[in-house]
Amino acid sequence: MTTEPLTRPIITIAQHIAETQRKFPQATGDLTWILSGITLATRIIESYVRRAGIVNVLGEYGTENVHGEIVQKLDLVANETILRVLGYREIVGIMVSEEDDDPTIVKSPGAGGKYIILFDPLDGSSNIDVNVTIGTIFSVLRCREDIDESEGALPHILQRGSYQVAAGYVVYGSSTVMAYTTGDGVHLFTLDPSIGAFTLHTENVRMPAQGKTYSVNEAYYDSFPAPVQNYLSWTKQNGYGQRYIGSLVADFHRTLLKGGVFLYPATDKNPSGKLRLLYEANPLAMIAEQAGGAAWDFNERILDKRADALHERTPLVIGSREEVDRVLSFHK
């Protein structure tokens, strides 16, 4: 009888963050506590995603969210789960969800609420009923110390993406994988159903510098800006392949691992782009850059953008550095 050699240690996210945080003397373990909350919440969400159809979470809930999109039952389950799990972590001050019009003020900065958690609880939810990969995206900011409580929550929230202290996503696909960064590389964990824990899969992921795959919904071609149309024509004369799942997290995760470029430009239907800056573009841009890639809104680096509104949308081109640079070269 052969037994698999114990070559791969079993490292959980909490252990990994704790070890990573030890490199930073000023680290207080706060991020470990927040990210362990996120892993707990996403394990609960995953249990519903895997049973959709058996438990009553398929289909529409019957309301619309702040963006006028039909809310799916599983959207609400995911949203409530994150709010309930993270809302009781004493260092969390403010929570911002794609599903909620306004921020949830858990604890004022003065009362110990040090962090802001921004999230899309279930991205790609229109794909739930047809069993296509979906995901949860999260971003962590530190509450600012230079503003008065009387100014309310928005000045804390509307910080540039470059101020994120952590970011990541969970992709509920053929396996459930979490990618996270605290600014010290991107690390991948796979949920092991036999023990119910995310265990380390790959450290310091590097996005390939190039990749002949572009990911865009070409149904909107006619309303794309001319430079994007010109780029797409160029790809067809240069042997590129096209992949588009229609779930941002799934399209991004493939790009992170295989290289290539994902584009969601401005369209007639969404003149500012469809994807949200604070809890979709910013966290994925931090992951992309930490893995050696790039993320722009076709004119400006995503992490340099300052949001003016909670649910602000942005055009997005994200992926391999050389591929993003090529898209941008059509805009010059």
Chain residues in the site for ligand P6P (CB under 6 A): 123-124, 126, 217, 246-248, 274
Measured from the CB atom, the residue of 134 and 291 that comes closer to ligand P6P is 134
Measured from the CB atom, the residue of 185 and 246 that comes closer to ligand P6P is 246
Smallest distance from ligand P6P to CB 217, Å: 4
Smallest distance from ligand P6P to CB 70, Å: 10
Considering Cα of 263, then 268, then 272, then 273, what sign does the dihedral take? Answer: negative
Measured from the CB atom, the residue of 77 and 248 that comes closer to ligand P6P is 248
Smallest distance from ligand P6P to CB 167, Å: 16
Smallest distance from ligand P6P to CB 193, Å: 25
Measured from the CB atom, the residue of 36 and 247 that comes closer to ligand P6P is 247
Write phi, then psi, for 91 (nearest 5 degrees).
-90, 0
Beta pairing partners, 213: 241
Q: How far is CA 293 from CA 103, 190, 302, 321, in A?
A: 30, 22, 12, 5
Smallest distance from ligand P6P to CB 35, Å: 23
Measured from the CB atom, the residue of 199 and 217 that comes closer to ligand P6P is 217
Measured from the CB atom, the residue of 173 and 246 that comes closer to ligand P6P is 246
Smallest distance from ligand P6P to CB 247, Å: 5
* Contact between 84 and 76 (Cβ < 8 Å): no
End-to-end CA distance of the chain: 63
Smallest distance from ligand P6P to CB 270, Å: 8
Measured from the CB atom, the residue of 201 and 274 that comes closer to ligand P6P is 274
Concatenated DSSP letters for 172-240? ESSSEEEEEESSS--EEEEEETTTTEEEEEESS----S--SEEE--GGGGGGS-HHHHHHHHHHHTTT-
Smallest distance from ligand P6P to CB 251, Å: 6
Cβ-based neighbours of 240, under 8 Å, separated by 6 or more: 212, 213, 214
Write phi, then psi, for 130 (nearest 5 degrees).
-115, 20
Smallest distance from ligand P6P to CB 213, Å: 15
Residue 117: which of 18, 20, 38 has the closest Cα? 38
Q: Cα(140)–Cα(119) distance, rounded to whole angstroms? A: 9
Q: How far is CA 37 from CA 7, 85, 87, 188, 208, in A?
A: 29, 6, 9, 17, 31
Measured from the CB atom, the residue of 220 and 234 that comes closer to ligand P6P is 220
Gyration radius of the chain over CA positions? 20
Measured from the CB atom, the residue of 33 and 220 that comes closer to ligand P6P is 220
Q: Cα(192)–Cα(179) distance, rounded to whole angstroms? A: 15
